Amino acid sequence: MVVSKELHFTRAAEKLKISQPTLSEQIKRLEDEVGIPLFDRIGKKIALTEAGKILLKHGQSVFFEIEQAEAALRDLNELQRGKLEIGSLLTCVNYLLSPAIKQFKQLYPNVKLSVYGLKTNDIKKELLENELDLGITFLPVEEKEFDSMPLFTEELSLAVYSEHPLAHLKEVDMKTLENVSTILFPESYYLRQLIDTYCRELGFKLNPVLEMTTLESIIQMVSEGIGATILPEPYLDTLNNPGVVKVKLINPTPQREIGFIYRKNKFICATTQTFIGQIMKAIKAVS
């Protein structure tokens, strides 16, 4: 499993805290046992064979079931220990999770809580690889491997420089953006894809003057007058930046639905349920 993730024997051996020759011998014995190579070795590089991909998929299921058993036993004994790993959209990390995390740590000080700001596709990938217990991302999800729980729907708003021609308006038509210089996430980001869909339905395409991968850098460029952007309204409401003004978008007002996603048949322990409850409280507090 570790070699499949690292695709590098030396790095995998370091993670497993064994020697590289020992690891290579274990892989060879495994390949002898199944009777077919699991890795293609090309110089120092390796890649999974088709057989390796099949074994990896079943290995992930095996480890998933083991983790479910451990979670159920911890829950039965009410140990309130272990770990909880959450993958969340970056925008939600910025304005939603802080109060929930604070309350959760007070209730469960012995639980190691890790929260990662990730893109939607990375959240799904790591849930399937058992690297995450819970995801907070866009809904709906199409993949049959996931169950979901809706949290809230939020509007997207325009953010402009305080001296921008649109800054004095309370609202603008979405169609107006056709003639506005914008700064957006790259096209691989779901939020960008959502914005592009709204624009396409209105018969135009945004051509941003700049694409950036972090919220902070986008807001910084907006505050310097480089261009406008479109971001979730709750996130914009948390900004303390006099150089950035929020303007409501209408006809239509773009929206996105946010919710929890998790692997089907995953045991939702009391610790995870408590975390979900704290998120619900945080949403009510900002609603």
Q: What is the CATH classification number for the domain harbouring 51? A: 1.10.10.10
At 110 the pLDDT is: 82
- Alpha-carbon distance 21 to 86, whole Å? 35
Handedness of CA 200, 202, 205, 207 (dihedral sign): negative
Q: Three-state DSSP class for 148?
A: strand
Helix axes 9-16, 20-34, angle to 10 degrees: 100
- Tens digits of pLDDT across the chain (287 residues): 999 988 988 899 999 999 999 999 999 999 999 999 999 987 778 999 999 999 998 998 888 888 878 777 776 655 556 788 999 988 787 777 887 888 888 888 888 889 999 989 999 999 988 889 999 999 999 899 999 999 989 999 999 999 999 999 999 999 999 999 999 999 999 899 999 999 999 999 999 999 999 999 999 999 999 999 999 998 898 888 999 999 999 999 999 999 999 998 888 877 888 888 888 887 777 66
Does any domain span residue 129? no
Does any domain span residue 119? no
* Domain span including residue 177: 154-256
Does any domain span residue 94? no
Does any domain span residue 75? no
Does any domain span residue 211? yes
Token reading at 49: 């064979």
Of 57, 82, 97, which residue constitutes the final position of a domain?
57
CATH number at residue 245: 3.40.190.290
Beta bridge partners of 258: 138, 152
Of 57, 77, 92, which residue constitutes the final position of a domain?
57
Contact at 8 Å (CB) between 112 and 82?
A: yes
Does any domain span residue 91? no
Query: How many structural domains does the chain have?
Result: 2
Side-chain-side CA neighbours of residue 125 (13 Å): 6
Q: Three-state DSSP class for 254?
A: coil
Does any domain span residue 244? yes
Does any domain span residue 50? yes
Side-chain-side CA neighbours of residue 148 (13 Å): 17
Single out the residue of 285, 138, 147, 160 nearest to residue 218, CA to CA.
Answer: 160
- Is the pTM here over 0.95, yes or no? no
